């Protein structure tokens, strides 16, 4: 393996971390929005969302952590290969790929929870539309 192999991951990991940061910002905005709409009539909806939001925050933190560690080990791998330490460089790159895979699995899990949360919002919207006087 040469120095360019781990370098191929740099753009992908960078874009992935940017996407994760955007997801985190969206979560923060959603939490702020829920805080603003904390009225008696919206309390049931907020209660349904809170546990999912907490889990999504934890998953996003793990996604970001594993993504950053993957990026770091990819850099270490390139440095080791630059120093012509082939075996440690290959091992560091392999661990980097495993960490990146874990990051993606957490991302998939977070997307699933996010989709369920959107369905809760849709159910609430449909309920309000069919019961306008409540």
pLDDT digits (tens, 9 = 90+) for 20-77: 888 888 888 877 777 776 666 667 667 777 888 889 899 999 999 999 999 999 999 9
pTM of the complete model: 0.77
pLDDT of residue 90: 95
Q: Please state the domain extents for the chain.
A: 4-130
Smallest Cα–Cα separation from 124: which of 57, 46, 38? 46
With b for 16 or more beta-carbon neighbours within 10 A and e for fewer, the 2-40 pattern comes to: eeeebeebeeebeebbeebeebbeebeebbeeeeeeeee
């Amino acid at each position: 393996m040469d120095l360019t192999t781990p370098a191929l991951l740099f753009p992908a990991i960078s874009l992935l971390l940017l996407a994760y940061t955007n997801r985190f910002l969206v979560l923060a905005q959603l939490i702020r929005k829920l805080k603003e709409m904390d009225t008696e009539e919206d309390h049931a909806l907020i209660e349904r969302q809170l546990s999912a939001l907490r889990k999504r925050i934890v998953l996003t933190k793990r996604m970001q952590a594993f993504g950053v560690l993957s990026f770091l080990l990819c850099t270490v791998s390139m440095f080791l290969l630059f120093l012509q330490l082939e075996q440690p460089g290959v091992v560091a790159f392999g661990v980097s790929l495993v960490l990146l895979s874990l990051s993606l699995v957490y991302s998939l899990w977070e997307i699933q929870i996010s989709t369920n949360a959107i369905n809760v919002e849709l159910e609430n919207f449909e309920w309000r539309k069919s019961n306008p006087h409540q």
